[in-house]
């Protein structure tokens, strides 16, 4: 049972339970981000003249330019190809991050912004402060 569910069942006073659950979430997110950072993702420009490799955290690790491109293309076209390849790699990395975060969020890609499971807890704390 999540803490949000527990609050719905009248468990607003279980602050230790809330802290354990938040700590678990933080550990899960940190572990997922570490795993993603260890990944290497590659992307190419549309003509496959340039290959860029980025880490799962989006850091540029390597750029390889086809030798023929260095001979046949001017610096402006090569620069555009490099940017396109880096952008493609980072887009794949962002997709991987979205999938990982969705898995941590119970499969919900976009949680309901109008629903905060902690609202009841904060309301209870405010009621105690007003009356105590």
Q: Residue 77: which domain range?
A: 36-109
Cα separation values, 89 from 103, 131, 132, Å:
21, 56, 56
- In a domain, residue 131? The reply is no
- Cβ proximity of 7 and 121 under 8 Å: yes
Tell me the pLDDT tens digit for each residue of 27-52.
888 888 888 888 999 999 999 999 99
CATH number of the domain bearing residue 86: 3.30.1310.10
71 inside domain: yes
Q: Is the pLDDT of residue 11 over 80?
A: no
pTM of this prediction exceeds 0.75: no
Vertex 117, ends 113 and 119: CA angle to 5°? 90
Which band of pLDDT confidence, cut at 50, 70 and 90, is reported for residue 112?
low
**Count of domains for the chain:** 1
Residue 46 lies in a domain: yes
Phi-psi region of 107 (alpha: psi -120 to 50; beta: other; left: phi over 0): left
DSSP 112: -
């Amino acid at each position: 049972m999540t803490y949000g569910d527990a609050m719905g069942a009248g468990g607003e006073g279980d602050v230790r339970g809330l802290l354990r659950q938040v700590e678990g979430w933080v550990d899960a997110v940190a572990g997922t981000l570490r795993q993603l950072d260890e990944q290497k993702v590659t992307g190419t420009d549309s003509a496959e003249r340039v290959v860029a490799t980025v880490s799962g955290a989006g850091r540029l690790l390597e750029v390889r330019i086809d030798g023929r491109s260095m001979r046949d293309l001017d610096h402006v076209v090569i620069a555009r190809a490099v940017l396109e390849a880096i952008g493609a790699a980072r887009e794949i990395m962002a997709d991987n991050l979205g999938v990982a975060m969705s898995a941590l969020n119970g499969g919900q890609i976009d949680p309901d912004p109008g629903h905060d499971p902690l609202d009841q807890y904060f309301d209870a704390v405010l009621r105690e402060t007003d009356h105590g």
